[in-house]
Structure 1
Amino acid sequence: MAEPRPGLALRFQRRFLAARPLRSLPWPELEQSLRTAPDSALLADILHKLESTAAEPLDELYEALADVLKEEEESTHCYKNYLLPSGDCVSLCESTALISGGTTGLLTWEAALHLAQWALQNPGLFRGRTVLELGSGIGFTGIAICRSCQPRTFIFSDCHPRVLRQLGENLQLNGLTPEGVTCSIQTESQGQELEGQNCHTPKVIVAELDWGSVTEKQLLALRADIVIAADVVYDPEIILALIGMLQKLSTSRADRKAPEVFIASTIRNPDTYQLFQAELDKAGIRWQVIPAHSSCHFLYDEQPDVTILQLFI
């Protein structure tokens, strides 16, 4: 009989906090438990145990958890449908596992749902404008905005090749044809062409965007009016890279004003979230909390603690 979930999660927590080698964690028991009753909630429970102690899970731990879950592609994906207030539907191919292919970006997270609902309640903010989404994942928030808010241009971006591939497929699934999945940012002349698009038929771009290496010139070429992101605040190193890129955005606008920035976060680890706010203060980036409804139209069983910050870069 497989060990009860709480006991297994607790063993991971204790050994991780004691700085034991990763190989000493109870991987065989975890694998046996998943074979007996496949359930990605078990992995969520293990990660929650680690994050609740203010410990940041290591990349190696994510990779090891992903190795346990390796199965055939067909058995780890499903199609999910999200009904928009208009009656329209967003259909997505998502991973059924919390971690797949070494990334957590192949499923829709709660903050993306909350950010989409907030956007649909404020369509005028996006209408006729160029929107850059950071860490788009498999595309729910951006697709919902393209369907309901009439942006002129929507730029989906991420850095993981497998996520970008799945994102492209989901865009096609929802009748959105990217101008081209690209491994580089558009040139400035291309960016100027985007300005002339009809806002009723958004121009859709998919870009590979590495926050650590992107240049001010590349960001200027995007000519973004609005920058949005969901569930990108979960690791100190990523936080620093994100803030560094926002600083580049603030100085790459030439004679145009800086874009408006909105970031939605699920507060799983309060210390990590407070670190994000502290680093914003240190960088001189002002912020304010945007009021949002406590419940989300797209969520049914749970309503996590999600907050949206507006940043003034």
Structure 2
Amino acid sequence: METNSNSASSKPSASSLRWKILRRAVLPRAKNPEDGSQLGLKLISRKAAKGFNLIPCQRLQHDHESRDARFCYTLPIQGCPKLVLTQRMDNNADLNDFEICNRHNIDNTGLVCQWPSEDVLAYFCLSHADMFRSKRVIELGSGYGLAGLTIATATEALEVVISDGNPQVVDYILHNINTNTEAFGETRVKSMQLHWNQKEVSNLLHAFDVIVASDCTFFKEFHKDLARITELLLKKAGASEAIFLSPKRGNSLDKFLVEIEENGLLFSVTEIYDTNIWKCHQRFMNGDESWPGYEKDHCYPLLIRITR
């Protein structure tokens, strides 16, 4: 999910940016029959060749006729169960995907791929497991749910709700929850379709100790709704907070934080918040070929902590 800051003067609409992203999912891709294994790795929506790859994963055997593939994630904590996630192959988007996006007024980025900031968020949550223990947690715009599932597996949270506004994505979340249910211990885990402009949230009103989200501030048209739902979901009592990991991307993040303030919330932004994540960032900045075209503004997620 990258944009070109040089085109800022042309002020493309959020919808045109969204369609540009989705276009990559439906363009035909060249097939090399002599290298089926490598082809599969290139086509998988996780885009494993580009990312921080802080949580090791490997593709499991799958039916090449299927539109989906399964990946096994090894959480870097001794004795922690592995997670198996089913994800869409990024050469299998169809017109129905676009129609659903238009009908629900949502973007399709959670279905197109698992974005690098989700990997960073999952790793950050593992490194700060204590903040989730015995807490009610919700992940917003979760995509395939790696961060939420990681919290459910490794932090002894009381409850984890993994949500997205796209009903197709929520189907994948539910499938991934059911696949990994034995890893959650006593933690209650459920999926939920939650649109950020949803008016009726009485059953969720001020119900969560912790909100987590990654790469959710890209589209400016969703800023007001995202800030609003954050305020509505955060508990009023106790040390509740929202943890967002998002690249700066021009003035997009700054504009979102204005909306956060207008909803009566406080925030802090931290650039260096984990030694290993920062080392990865520096390596990419120095030209690591595993992520060509890496740019700090568009790729490196800042840590935003939002409180009352």
| Shorter-chain TM-score tier | 0.5 to 0.7
Q: Pick the aligned partner of 2:71 from 80, 95, 108.
A: 80
With over 3 angstroms needed to count, the CA separation of the structure-2 counterparts of 1:214 and 1:204, relative to structure 1, is farther
Counterpart-to-counterpart distance in 2, 1:130 and 1:249: 11
Q: Pick the aligned partner of 1:284 from 258, 264, 267.
A: 264
Q: How does 1:253-292 map to 2 (within 5 A)?
A: 253=236, 256-257=237-238, 259-267=240-248, 269-290=249-270, 291-292=272-273
Q: CA deviation at 1:246?
A: 2.3
Q: CA deviation at 1:63?
A: 4.4
Indicate the residue corresponding to 1:93 in structure 2: 86
Counterpart-to-counterpart distance in 2, 1:113 and 1:65: 20
Return the letter of the residue paired with 1:91: V
Q: Is the 8 A contact 2:177 2:189 kept in 1?
A: no
Is 1:69 matched with 2:26? Answer: yes
With over 3 angstroms needed to count, the CA separation of the structure-2 counterparts of 1:287 and 1:270, relative to structure 1, is same
Indicate the residue corresponding to 1:53 in structure 2: 7
Counterpart-to-counterpart distance in 1, 2:215 and 2:91: 14
Indicate the residue corresponding to 1:309 in structure 2: 304
With over 3 angstroms needed to count, the CA separation of the structure-2 counterparts of 1:123 and 1:201, relative to structure 1, is same
Return the letter of the residue paired with 1:217: S
Counterpart-to-counterpart distance in 2, 1:159 and 1:129: 23
Counterpart-to-counterpart distance in 1, 2:200 and 2:245: 24
With over 3 angstroms needed to count, the CA separation of the structure-2 counterparts of 1:281 and 1:69, relative to structure 1, is same
Is 1:207 matched with 2:192? Answer: yes
Q: CA deviation at 1:175?
A: 2.9
Q: How does 1:169-208 map to 2 (within 5 A)?
A: 169-175=175-181, 200-208=185-193
Is 1:293 matched with 2:238? Answer: no
Q: How does 1:131-280 map to 2 (within 5 A)?
A: 131-175=137-181, 200-215=185-200, 217-220=202-205, 223-249=207-233, 253=236, 256-257=237-238, 259-267=240-248, 269-280=249-260
| Cα deviation 1:117-174 (Å, max 9, x = unaligned) | 1111111101111111111111100111111111111111111110001111112222
Question: Identity of counterpart residues, as a percentage?
Answer: 21
With over 3 angstroms needed to count, the CA separation of the structure-2 counterparts of 1:58 and 1:84, relative to structure 1, is same
Counterpart-to-counterpart distance in 2, 1:165 and 1:149: 24
Is 1:104 matched with 2:78? Answer: no
Counterpart-to-counterpart distance in 1, 2:82 and 2:68: 19
Counterpart-to-counterpart distance in 1, 2:178 and 2:13: 34
Q: Is the 8 A contact 2:208 2:233 kept in 1?
A: no
User: How many equivalent residue pairs?
Assistant: 239
Q: Structure 1 regions of 5+ residues with no counterpart? A: 1-43, 178-198
Counterpart-to-counterpart distance in 2, 1:134 and 1:159: 9
Counterpart-to-counterpart distance in 2, 1:284 and 1:278: 10
Q: CA deviation at 1:112?
A: 1.1
With over 3 angstroms needed to count, the CA separation of the structure-2 counterparts of 1:289 and 1:63, relative to structure 1, is closer
Q: Is the 8 A contact 2:138 2:148 kept in 1?
A: no
Q: CA deviation at 1:74?
A: 4.5
Q: CA deviation at 1:85?
A: 1.1
- Bigger CA radius of gyration: 1
Name the Cα RMSD after superposition.
3.2
TM-score by length of 2: 0.67
With over 3 angstroms needed to count, the CA separation of the structure-2 counterparts of 1:149 and 1:117, relative to structure 1, is same
Return the letter of the residue paired with 2:230: L
TM-score by length of 1: 0.66
Counterpart-to-counterpart distance in 2, 1:273 and 1:77: 32
Indicate the residue corresponding to 1:21 in structure 2: none
Q: Is the 8 A contact 1:214 1:245 kept in 2?
A: no
Q: Is the 8 A contact 2:22 2:109 kept in 1?
A: no
Q: Is the 8 A contact 1:156 1:207 kept in 2?
A: yes
Q: Is the 8 A contact 1:115 1:308 kept in 2?
A: no
Return the letter of the residue paired with 2:137: V
| Cα deviation 1:75-119 (Å, max 9, x = unaligned) | 653222322112542222223328943311123211111111111
Q: Structure 2 regions of 5+ residues with no counterpart? A: 29-63, 99-107, 281-287
